[in-house]
Structure 1
Amino acid sequence: MADSHRIVIVGSGPRGMGVLERLAARLADGPSLPTEIFLVDAVEVGCGRIWRSDQPDWFLMNTVCGEVTMFSGPSDDGPVRPGAGPSLAQWWESVDPACPGPDGYAPRALHGRYMRYVLEVVERSLPSWATLRQVTGTVEDVAPTTTGGYDVVLSEGTRLAADKVVLTTGHPTPALTGAQQELAEFAAARPHLRYIRGDSAADMPLDAIPADASVGILGIGLSFYDIMYALTVGRGGKFIEDIDGSVRYEPSGEEPLMLAGSRSGVPLPARGRNQKAATYSYRPALFIPAMVRAHVPQGPLDFTRDVRPWLEAEVHLTYFSALLRDAGPERVKAFRAEVLALAGHGVPDVADVAARHGVVDTTTAPDLDRLSRPFAGRKFTSVEDFDRALADVMRVDLEHAERGNVGDSLKTSLDVLRDTRWVIRELIDYAGLLPQSHRDFLADFAPRHSFLAAGPPRVRVRYALALIEAGLLRVVGPDTRFVGDAEADAFVMSSPAVAGSAVTADILIDARIPNPDVTRDPSLLTRNLLRRGMWTEFVNGSGAAAFPTGGVAVTTSPFHPLDIEGRPDGGMCVLGVPTEHTRWFTLAGSGRPGAWNEWTRDADTVAASALASPTHAATAKEGQPA
């Protein structure tokens, strides 16, 4: 298309597809400027690597399908089109009579097929002056041209001329460092051992693990459950639910022994049974940016001192409000009103107010530290002693989860952690925290937050219990140590809290999602952008206290990268995982039905920037360096 405006989107996972959907919606409403869009992905155009549509169905999402949409508006009386389309649940119900409904959990592969459907909708809905070209390939470089655009270079030699570039490259596989590098090198020197680095479970060589192997698993989070399924159901085993509701595992004989460990020593707790409408939006009363900033008006914050107390107060307010529901709405209203009145003077003692309003035992209030490390400070005299304690913790969690994320006071209060991520982001993004506090937040509180807020479906925890009972899964204990032991000629796992816990493994899997770090990303694209100074690492602070975060330095929305001189490149936007730690929790995978959330707003502002007339100078309206 001669003299057209050319936009290249690199990466077609949810972030890239979100931008494409908003581009198409804006093109339908905008002037008839000839526009060419190139959607580039190295694995599968339309859904990317993590959500590719050919992965096994036992890899599940951890958000109910009714709360997921890739359209920026709901379906209406008109045709499905960008800005008006079905949620994942609505689309699933239309193509599969066995869809479990809006509270079911979709396989990631099915979400990938849904994204491909969105791509089809976009393609057929584009106006006559716009075209979309799908390109399968790996982008190795994006270089500025003398005419003000970009030369986008693919690995096979293809070159795309672009006026604007949107980089939504998703999860990297950064170079190993520290203990993980040592473990990998230990295995590399011993042909009978194997180390499998952290990545999407669908991309791990799990099929190659022999049935008689002892498999150590580092981390018991969401990826652990994927690995657990791949090594059991993926090997022909079956989970059988008996009449009394109990679950037992029927092995195929092809399962290896799984030995798992983590800091907490507990598989990730279950999400509460969903009792909320897809469009439900929680409105915090205490933990809002204005309330925090009213007490610390200027300068970077200390998360532990200035932010976390307000978050915990919000959790407690929700918890005690749930406990007081049986006393009637007027009692709840009076309780909340008193708490809010006290908030003007500082973080209120929510438990103290709850006691005055009739809560008999306020010591049950959620303790985020205790809940995220339930075995902290405990010692176990034997493996059997720990196994009993672990089973008790998992069964109690399942009881809470079964009561639901409204009906159960604990699960509904922990949902506050998910629902107020936007508040944390607004307060801490772009060096909102002091450098040391930023380090501490990422090292300690962020993992605790994830442990309590990002749980799997209830059935996965039930199945993990069944595997423990079947002797195919053993959790080693809290603060698990993973070492390569030359004398044992194997990996050795042990917990300092559990006597006799040491076990050997001949395969070790890191079941944690790799921590993004632009300085350790081996991709040629990242290396070229850094080498040329078009990308830089975001550093919080200066001097000896400075914290190099590993995130790409970008402006505020629409997220133009800052070059080596600190100047924003107004022709390029970087969205999602590459900016992690500059912004927090960029891993969110979709929008949500109802009012636009940050995910959709980010996609829209990037789309607006990509459609604007080419410029390499970010305007005040588009975004400023943070």
Structure 2
Amino acid sequence: MTGAEPRPYRIAVIGTGPRGLAVVERLAARLAEAPTAVPVELYAMDAVQVGPGRIWRTSQPRWLLMNTPAGEVTMFSGPPDDGPTRAGAGPSLAQWWQAFDPAGHPHAYAPRALYGQYMRYVLNRVDGGLPGWARLHRFYAQVADVHENPDGRYRLTLHDGRQLVVDRVVLTTGHARPTLDPPQRALAEFAATRPHLRYLRGDSAADLPLARIPARARVGVLGLGLSFYDVLIALTVGRGGTFTEDAGGALHYRASGREPHVLAGSRSGIPILARGRNQKPGEHAYRPRLFTHERMLAARARGPLDFGTDVLPWLLAEVDLVYLAAVIRRRFGADVADRFVAEAEAATAGPGDRDADPRAVLHRIAGRLGVGDLPPVDLYAWSRRFAGRDFSGPDEFHRELAALLRHDLDLAEEGNVDGPFKACLDAIRDVRGVIRTAVDYRGLTPASHRDEFLGWFVPVSASLTTGPPRERQRQLLALVEAGVLGVVGPELRWGADPETDAFYVESPRVAGSRSTVDVLIDARIPGPDLRRETGLLALLRDRGLLTNHVNAGPDGDFVTGGVSVTRSPFHPVRADGRPEQGMYVLGIPTEHTRWFTQVGSGRPGTWGDFIADADAIAGDALRGAPLDEIAELAEPVTVAEPVGSGG
């Protein structure tokens, strides 16, 4: 190349957890496929750890586990081939893990820190496979602000004042720490004036100052979801406690003496239930028969949907289909189960009557095949087993809760294919893409979006489908038996009591359950809300580059709190209504514009939304770099040196 060196084309990815890393991986894969006429520089930027980000950083304790089997996780957009590991061709988490550790079974649940190591490995392989005209810079820095330049580019200001001008900006900032809402602020202020009390706001368990909680302190935990399990393990195993199994297979907890006493509760009073024993290969791809993309697209063509009327009946029909097919397979064999599925699919084919009940059709067919004794699946009843019930005291409640959890473990052991209960719940995970087709981008009326979908379906389905490995539930039972953990009961209430100078937790359904606690931990991960954002996103909001997604309707608007973005490739919608063409927002900040954006990996063997979204951004971002002959690499910028990482 002669003459002056061309200005490099620069793309900054701000936030490098799974979403940011996926974009970098697809950028690298596309660069390898299509040379550019100018050098390309990629900037992977993270304030905590480039590659894993904050949530998956490699320094967190090994007792914190993923809740997805390792065989179902990949950060490469294609499987290994005969060439070197590189963007577009690399091992799944399980394949990489198995190469150096026999514990790395496809059905095993990896430590989160190990997944972070895998992501560093992916980033290193992506970096090593870049063509000669491309360079990856790793910035271990917080991006404090992003300004538009008059020439259409963007000026990034780092926390230390350094600046960098880039052509495209990808915001994949992940889980936020929003400002406290008024009730949370009142609890924090109550603790701030009483040195013997502590209030810990919701966050990743690895980021909570749990080590500061004294031994034998009384700790209240709000929420019984995945973060609750992490907090519980940190306060027990993290303090030297151990679990042992007796000759009969029962698990027991041996305390270290440094544990606090934990009292936890939630709306349902039931810890999020364990996932079924995994029987599906990592490449498993479920084909919906009744609740299909085509059916939901046809429904949306009529206008905004009512979740309870237009979506839920078909979703529950798919759940019933899987449940009944598993029962029929168990009773009469696979051939009869296959016939049931085929007849059900044929009987519900076509657009159908909007008022028809597809579940009734399924159960009529099942009855003809000898399974007429089963009621339809009732997600609410399954998730709220104690709804409306009263208990004479904590002992009675704990006995019933223990029986429920042991029964759930038996159901989980049956598997997520052979076991009807866990198989049909796993189907909800399998059809998340169809749910998104129905609800994303104002697919529902504002009231239905807020009340029926987010207010009812999302928490109910989460309590049944997003649970921890079975071992965690066994450990929970052992901790209750050891007296380290008490579950308060349903309809949890909590607050600050000036008379006792302490916090309290109680269940109105369990007599004598009110207890004072010294520490109150909110174990509910805060959802995204642009109105309560701080830092970079707040600055971009205040300047009109980012706006709230509003589901508007004739009967009122629903301000969701999610960042408003266009459809793929996900440009943010400015305050003036125009898309910001050089910027992209992907993942958790856009929740409620799109649903279930917290997914943290691709799946081997198939391009789901996770990889497809990253590829759409990569393709659009590179469109600004002219594709021509191979370019020479310009000298690296002096704003920061690339920082290597292990793995």
TM-score bracket for the superposition, by shorter chain length:
over 0.9
> Residue type matched to 1:9 in 2?
V
SS at match of 2:397: helix
Match of 2:509 in 1: 497
Q: 2:52 & 2:334 partners in 1: Cα distance?
A: 46
Q: Which residue matches 2:357?
A: 347
| 1:412 maps to 2:423 | yes
| Aligned counterpart, 2:337 | 332
- Please say if 1:516 is aligned against 2:521: no
| 1:162-561 equivalence runs, <5 A | 162-294=166-298, 297-325=301-329, 326-343=331-348, 344-345=352-353, 346-348=356-358, 349=360, 350-363=362-375, 365-440=376-451, 441-523=453-535, 525-541=536-552, 545-561=556-572
SS in 2 for 1:417: helix
In structure 2, C-alpha distance between the alignment counterparts of 1:468 and 1:87, rounded to whole Å: 37
Distance 2:299 2:18 in 1: 37
Contact 1:296–1:306, Cα closer than 8 Å, also in 2: no
Aligned pair 1:52/2:57, yes or no? Answer: yes
- What is the distance in 2 between the residues matched to 1:508 and 1:373? 24
The whole-number CA distance in structure 2 between the counterparts of 1:275 and 1:331 is 21
- Separation in structure 1 between the aligned mates of residue 194 and residue 363 of structure 2, nearest angstrom: 56
The answer to whether the aligner puts 1:18 opposite 2:22 as a matched pair is yes
Which amino acid counterpart does residue 510 of structure 2 have in structure 1? Answer: V
Q: CA deviation at 1:445?
A: 1.3
- How far off its partner does 1:2 sit? 4.4
Indicate yes or no: 2:46 matched with 1:36. Answer: no
- CA spacing shift, 1:25–1:295, aligned 2, 3 Å: closer
Q: Aligned to 1:564, which of 570, 575, 600? A: 575
- Answering whether residue 74 of structure 2 is matched by residue 69 of structure 1, we say yes
- Which digits, 9 at most, give the CA deviation of each residue in 1:341-366, with x for residues without a partner? 43234332123332222014213x43
SS in 2 for 1:267: coil
Secondary structure in 2 matching 1:550: strand
| Structure 1 residue 288 displacement after superposition | 1.1
Bigger CA drift: 477-486 or 344-353?
344-353
Are the aligned partners of 2:36 and 2:625 in contact in 1 as well (CA < 8 Å)? no
8 Å contact 2:503–2:519 — kept in the other structure? yes
The one-letter amino acid paired with 2:340 is: F
Q: Secondary structure at the match of 1:47?
A: coil
Alignment of 1:73-84 (within 5 A): 73-84=78-89
- 1:591 to 2:595 alignment: no
Q: Over residues 506-527 of structure 1, what are the superposed CA-to-partner deviations in whole Å (9 max), with x where a residue is unaligned?
A: 100011111110110111x112
Aligned equivalent of 2:631: none
**In structure 1, what is the Cα distance between the partners aligned to 2:184 and 2:363?**
43
Check whether the contact 1:140–1:155 (CA below 8 A) recurs between aligned residues. yes
1:124 has 2:136 as partner:
no
Counterpart of 2:41, as a letter, is E
- CA displacement 1:492-513 (0-9 Å, x = unmatched): 1111111111111110001111
Q: Give yes or no for contact 2:297–2:437 (8 Å, CA) kept in 1.
A: no
**CA displacement 1:328-349 (0-9 Å, x = unmatched):** 3342233223323432343321
SS in 2 for 1:305: helix
SS at match of 1:411: helix
Within 5 A, what are the aligned runs for 1:2-17? 2-17=6-21
Distance (whole Å) between structure 2 residues aligned to residue 159 and residue 543 of structure 1:
46
| Structure 1 SS opposite 2:562 | strand
Measure how far apart 1:199 and its partner are: 0.4
Kindly tell me: are residues 578 and 341 of structure 1, through their superposed partners in 2, closer, same or farther at Cα, counting changes over 3 Å?
same
- Aligned partners of 1:553 and 1:561 also within 8 Å: yes
Deviation at 1:548, TM superposition (A): 0.6
Kindly tell me: are residues 138 and 544 of structure 1, through their superposed partners in 2, closer, same or farther at Cα, counting changes over 3 Å?
A: farther
**SS of the residue 1:471 aligns to:** coil
CA deviation string 1:228-281 (max 9, x = no partner): 110001000000011211000000000000000001111111011111111011
Distance 2:595 2:193 in 1: 38
In 2, Cα distance between equivalents of 1:388 and 1:604: 51
Secondary structure of 2:99's match? Answer: helix
Counterpart of 2:578, as a letter, is R
Equivalent pairs counted in the alignment come to: 612
Measure how far apart 1:295 and its partner are: 5.3
CA distance in 1, matches of 2:14, 2:104: 34
1:602 Cα offset (Å): 0.3
**Does the Cα contact within 8 Å between 1:142 and 1:152 map onto a contact in 2?**
yes
Aligned residues of 1:366 and 1:410 also touching (Cα < 8 A):
no
Which amino acid counterpart does residue 91 of structure 2 have in structure 1? P
Aligned with 1:135: secondary structure? strand
SS where residue 147 of structure 2 aligns? Answer: strand
Change (3 A) 1:72 1:244: same
| Counterpart Cα distance in 2 of 1:63 and 1:188 | 38
Distance 2:417 2:546 in 1: 45
Structure-1-length-normalised TM-score: 0.96
TM-superposition CA deviations, 1:348-406 (whole Å, max 9, x none): 2123332222014213x431001111111111112111111100110000000111111
Moved more, 461-470 or 37-46: 37-46
Shift of 1:542: 5.0
Read off the aligned partner of 1:512 and give its amino acid letter: R
Structure 2 counterpart of 1:27, which letter? Answer: L
The SS at the match of 1:362 is coil
Residue deviations 1:294-325 (CA, integer Å, cap 9, x gap): 45641111111111111111100100001111
3-state SS, counterpart of residue 416 of structure 1:
helix
Counterpart of 2:382 in structure 1: which amino acid? L
Q: Name the CA shift for 1:309/1:544 in 2 (closer, same or farther; >3 Å).
A: closer
Which 5+ residue runs of structure 2 have no aligned equivalent?
627-647
Q: Please give the root-mean-square deviation of Cα atoms over the aligned residues, in Å.
A: 1.4
Counterparts of 2:521 and 2:573, CA distance in 1: 36
Q: Which residue of 2 aligns with 1:620?
A: none
Query: RCO greater where, 1 or 2, for CA within 8 Å and sep 6 or more?
Result: 2
